[in-house]
């Protein structure tokens, strides 16, 4: 069997350039297997050679979303690889997203097989599992050699264009694609067996994966609106001019808290919008189309509501991962609760 040319992708840390202080370094390439890529070479054995290791700082990729991957693809392409192995990224969010983006680009633009690995909660999984084969790993590099072995094993199959089995058999995150298959028993027989198992309290495997959204018990209704403090929140990308909190335009991991104390309304000149998921012309013209401060003030002054909370919260709700959304929601809720807020009106685009 022909020895495959493999290119590895690593971030600044796993490429041994440095820690967070080096997170801003730009794309670069080193010959052979550098840093954690040596584990990939070890796992490859005779089957392949890591001809180069491409490196980039995680912040560079995150802050140059349009150009970083293109630059990296050029470096990768120059090596004429048969396979690209990125990461593993474990739980490092920006690294995982970078690995996913690079692998997706390698597949579509260079038509070269690619594989990466990361922890289930890495936002890179949610963003890229549908396009890229991602191997599940632990949260940290403690069992890296083992995990790299699994990564390489799947990579070799892809490079050799061998047919892949199911996600459970081969060990990758389900890509969320459905495919009709003929099975032995008809649906009625399978349903009867499943119901009997459910009645017996046994574990069942649903043939349709359940949505990831657990039921949220509804908080009891407000009894006295005129004594209630209401806060305004939005995921429409509302930010003060200059976006001081650097809320991301896509896949946000940050939110902002902005003071509106004493303000009767929002002055469009002081605010901006970073959301990439819709045409923000109208909400920039008039931010009340997202955060109804003017109307809420009226309700406050009329005595309909007790108080309009002095802080508004905002983030960007486009390609925001479930994980980050839930975390930000929890954090905002905790702050609101601590400030005595009773209810929230959340405007979503």
CB of 259 to other proteins, least distance (A): 20
Strand, coil or helix: 111: coil
Between residues 139 and 164, which has the closer beta carbon with respect to other proteins? Answer: 164
Contact 113, 37 (CB under 8 A): no
Strand partners, 236: 316
For residue 108, how many C-alpha atoms fall within 13 Å in the half-sphere facing its CB? 10
Whichever of 257 and 278 has its CB closer to other proteins, that residue is 278
Q: Closest distance between other proteins and the C-beta of residue 343, in Å?
A: 5
Burial of 312 (0-12, 13-18, 19+ CB in 10 A): buried
Closer residue to other proteins in complex, CB, 1/199:
199
Burial 225-255 (b: 16+ CB within 10 A, else e): eeeebbbbbbbbbbbeeebeeebbbebbbeb
Residue nearer to other proteins on the CB measure, 74 or 285:
285
Report d(CA 13, CA 135) in Å as an integer.
20
Nearer to other proteins, 20 or 331 (CB): 331
Sheet holding 4-11, edge to edge: 28-31, 48-56, 4-11, 83-86, 114-118, 133-136
Instruction: Select from 87, 81, 68, 76 the least CA-distant residue to 24.
Output: 68
User: Could you identify the residue written with the tokens 């490859």?
Assistant: 44
Residue 340: CB partners within 8 Å, gap ≥ 6?
A: 229
Q: Cα(43)–Cα(6) distance, rounded to whole angstroms?
A: 12
As measured in angstroms, the least distance from the Cβ of 131 to other proteins is 12
- The minimum distance between CB 328 and other proteins, in angstroms, equals 14
Min dist. Cβ of residue 220 to other proteins (A) = 7
| Residue nearer to other proteins on the CB measure, 110 or 222 | 222
Other Cβ atoms within 10 Å of 2 Cβ, number: 9
Q: How far is the CB of 246 from other proteins (least distance, A)?
A: 24
Q: Which is nearer to other proteins, 75 or 323 (by Cβ)?
A: 323
Closer residue to other proteins, CB minimum distance, 294 or 310: 294
CB of 196 to other proteins, least distance (A): 6
Residue 271's closest CA among 236, 306, 229, 305? 236
Minimum distance from residue 284 beta carbon to other proteins (Å): 11
């Amino acid at each position: 069997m022909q020895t495959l040319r493999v290119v590895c992708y690593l971030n600044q840390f796993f490429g041994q350039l440095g820690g967070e202080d080096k997170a801003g370094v730009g794309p670069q390439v080193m010959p052979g297997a550098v840093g954690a890529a040596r584990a990939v070479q070890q796992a490859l054995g005779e089957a392949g050679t890591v001809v180069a290791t491409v490196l980039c700082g995680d912040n560079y990729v995150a802050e140059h979303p349009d150009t970083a991957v293109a630059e990296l693809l050029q470096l990768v392409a120059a090596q004429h690889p048969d396979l690209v192995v990125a990461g593993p990224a474990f739980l490092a969010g920006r690294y995982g997203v970078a690995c996913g983006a690079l692998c997706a680009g390698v597949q579509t633009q260079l038509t070269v097989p690619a594989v990466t690995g990361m922890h289930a909660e890495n936002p890179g999984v949610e963003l890229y599992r549908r396009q890229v084969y991602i191997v599940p790993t632990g949260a940290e590099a403690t069992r890296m050699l083992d995990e790299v072995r699994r990564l390489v094993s799947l990579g070799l199959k892809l490079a050799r264009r061998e047919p892949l089995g199911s996600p459970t058999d081969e060990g990758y995150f389900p890509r969320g694609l459905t495919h009709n298959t003929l099975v032995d028993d008809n649906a009625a027989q399978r349903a009867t067996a499943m119901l009997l198992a459910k009645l017996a309290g046994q574990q069942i495997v649903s043939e349709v994966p359940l949505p990831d959204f657990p039921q949220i018990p509804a908080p009891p209704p407000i009894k006295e609106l005129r004594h209630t403090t209401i806060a305004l929140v939005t995921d429409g990308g509302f930010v003060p001019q200059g976006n001081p909190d650097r809320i991301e335009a896509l896949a946000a991991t940050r939110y902002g808290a902005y003071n509106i104390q004493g303000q009767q309304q929002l002055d469009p000149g002081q605010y901006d919008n970073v959301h990439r998921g819709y045409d923000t012309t109208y909400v920039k013209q008039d931010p009340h189309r997202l955060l109804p401060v003017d109307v809420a003030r009226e309700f406050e002054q009329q005595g309909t509501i007790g108080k309009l909370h002095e802080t508004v919260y905002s983030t960007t709700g486009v390609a925001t991962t479930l994980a980050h959304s839930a975390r930000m929601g929890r954090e905002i809720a905790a702050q609101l609760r601590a400030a005595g807020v009773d209810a929230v009106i959340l405007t979503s685009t």
